[in-house]
A and B are shown apart, each in its own frame.
Chain A
Amino acid sequence: MEAEIKKICHQSGCKILEGGSCLESIDVTKDECPHFYADSQNDDVKDENSNDQTKQSTSIKLFTGRELSFNETSIITNRYDSKLIAIVGESKSGKTTLLAEYYINLQKQPIKEYYFAGSMTQTGFEERCFYATVGSKAKKPDTGRTQSREFSFLHLALKHKDELDKEPTHFLISDIWGERFREAKGSTALMQELTILKAADFVLFIIDGEKIATKATRALTIEEAKTFIQKALDENIFDSNTNLKVAVSKWDFLHSDSSFDFADKIKRVFKERFESRLGKIEFTKLAARSENASLEAGYGLYELLKSWKTENINERISDTPEIKQSSSRAFYKYSLPNA
């Protein structure tokens, strides 16, 4: 009689066996879930009964192409110089859409001079793009939501058209779950868990342009963004090394709105309050999936990518070191910097 093979889900956080639903809403009875397979420990028990000599699990973790955990990013970071980008913002502000659009655009053609040069997380990108494809049968392009509390990273390698013979630039991009962002605003403990923001070379802070376009939610949306940045500064998650870019997403909602002055309401306000405490603060407008005919789709994506690609994040070397010592000898007083 054939023994029943016990299956379990190997994806952390999935409650399918505890009577909950699949984390990714997949019907596991149709063998479609890549995480739901035979329990290797169960195999071991069976093996032990039949053959005491076999003790070890024979399961091998196959390459999935999904998002990487911070530990798993070592397959990139141990070998290559890489740029870590953390994207933060409220739920549905457009964080994942931004990533999905980069991937979708790169599948069609280079983004101006930047060519797709590989990714270790193509499945992760595909999952985020699924609802923007015909196959999803969605009425209009949408994006899967980031649902994990753990930091996960998508990998994207790009080459400049004039440097195709050189190493690509490797990006590790983490879009932080919107719910986590919301909770961290009001909690010191949860804010301090966002250590990834400290390690990031670039932090992209996305403010939902659709909410700003609605006058009833405009002030609150901007205020909440300021609250988060202030809290991050107070908890030393942001500091003088932080390279922050504040982006207003869904700019197509604001493009024709004369009542909103980006330079005054966003740039001036955020600069005045935070510039002195951050390494750098810059501003941009994005419309990854523009629904406004007068604004091209993918508005702002190229400039953002270019700034990440070109900006040097490593040790900055000054031409002339400061001369700190002072001497009473006239011969050395002659040694003035930059003379």
Chain B
Amino acid sequence: MNKNKISEWHTLSKFSIQNETLDKRQDSIENITQRTEVKFWLDIVRLYIGISVNGKNITDFISAFSGVDDTFPLTKNEKLLKVLAGMVLMSKMELATDSNSNNDDESEEEKAEAETNAPKEEEDENEDVEHGEIAIVISNALVNSIYFGQYKLDSKVPVIETAKAYLGNYSFNQRTSEIDEHEDSLNETANRLSEEEDKLDSSEEETLVKTTQALIKENKLLSEEVNVLWWLFGEYSELAEKYFNEIEDHVMVIIGAKELYDLSQFNSELPAARHILRKAIKASNGNGAKQTSLKLCIDSLSRTLKDKILESNTNSIDILTPCLYALKNSDTKDWQKSIGFSAEEKLNHNGLAMQFYKEIIFINSTN
């Protein structure tokens, strides 16, 4: 991570920092960034957004800084730890982004050195995938957890905006196939073979493999699109076993989110999800009210539907997914007091449905 950025964030957060300490902080941040345990990173997210968290992960986090810096404050350091957590999260998302772009940039070199470096490449690829997966978990956790404004994000490190951008790019990349790029090469190969009746050379074989992969992806994309469009066209919910117009709009907020996730072929948000959910809710049985609340939506849901929505994820659900957490606890007495925010706040149907949808994606991506 760029030293100037670290310095700037310290200054903006009003921490006085000398050059020597700055070097140590940079090293510590880079060391922590290499970690790949999901639980560790979720604890760092909790630390950043201000959820009380203790345990080995936090001790490790603090030790990474205090172990190399004798002046690091071990008490009365709550704000400093939050800001450093923010920097570490930024660093992880940056590393994942760099890994992805390096993969794209180095594809030609990799081709040239394919044979000699094959084992090493395999290792690197695995590492990159891990960074990318962790970055997705981090981004989802950050964006989902703050929906109700229940946490005070007192930091000038642009963590949330970076997480939103990362999720947007990830979704876009997942749903972009490179099939058009291979078309010309395939045509050339087909022309050559028709004239020379020769075997495929290695580059042509590689193009063929990549084209096949792109075709598979394209098929998944089309399948996702068609399934979603048929769902909207048919206006029928398999979960509720009813037509949309027989389902209350408060219920549709949650059911729609779950069914849209089930129709997805990828573990990221559909770029058009907000608008698809809007259409599904519009087709449901609303009483004309423009707003709803989390409590109203949850109270309108039957026990059977709650179980279908929570599925096997119950154990992983906590306050990082506030809507699902409320749903999970909704059978307990005084559940509203245990969730840490007001479930009666008036919200837009569509916005709440999107939040459920994002939380369902997140909870499934961590399992």
Contact = CB atoms under 8 A, between A and B. Distances in A.
9 contacts: A77-B80, A78-B80, A315-B157, A315-B161, A317-B160, A318-B161, A331-B228, A331-B272, A332-B272
Given A317-B161, A332-B175, A75 B14 contact: no
B154 A77 contact: no
Contacts of B274: 335, 339
Contact of A321 (B76, B152, B164): B164
Contact of B168 (A82, A315, A318, A325): A325
Interface residues of A, number: 33
A332 B274 CA distance: 11
A276 B239 CA distance: 54
Given A77-B15, A82-B14, A327 B160 contact: no
Given A74-B16, A75-B76, A315-B158, A334 B168 contact: no
B231 to A, nearest CB: 13
Given A79-B78, A327-B172, A315 B159 contact: yes
The 6 closest A-B pairs by CB, nearest first: A81-B154, A335-B272, A335-B271, A321-B164, A77-B14, A78-B80
A135 B64 CA distance: 53
Given A81-B154, A84-B14, A323 B165 contact: no
Contacts of B267: none
Given A74-B73, A323-B168, A332-B175, A317 B153 contact: yes
A9 B12 CA distance: 34
A199 B15 CA distance: 10
B73 A314 contact: no
A324 B146 CA distance: 23
Interface of A: 70-71, 73-75, 77-82, 84, 172, 195, 198-199, 313-315, 317-318, 321, 323-325, 327, 329, 331-332, 334-336, 339
A78 B146 CA distance: 23
Nearest to A328: B180
B77 interface: yes
A325 B172 CA distance: 7
B245 interface: no
Contacts of B271: 323, 327, 332, 335
Contacts of A331: 225, 228-229, 272
Interface string B1-24: 000000000011111100000000
Contacts of A329: 221, 225
Contact of B153 (A78, A198, A199, A314): A314
B169 interface: yes
A149 B225 CA distance: 66
Interface in B153-183: 153-161, 164-165, 168-169, 172, 175-176
Contacts of A82: 14, 79
A202 B285 CA distance: 50
Nearest to A320: B274
Nearest to A195: B11
B15 A74 contact: yes
B346 interface: no
Contact of A79 (B76, B153, B273, B275): B76
Given A77-B13, A84-B14, A324-B168, A315 B155 contact: yes
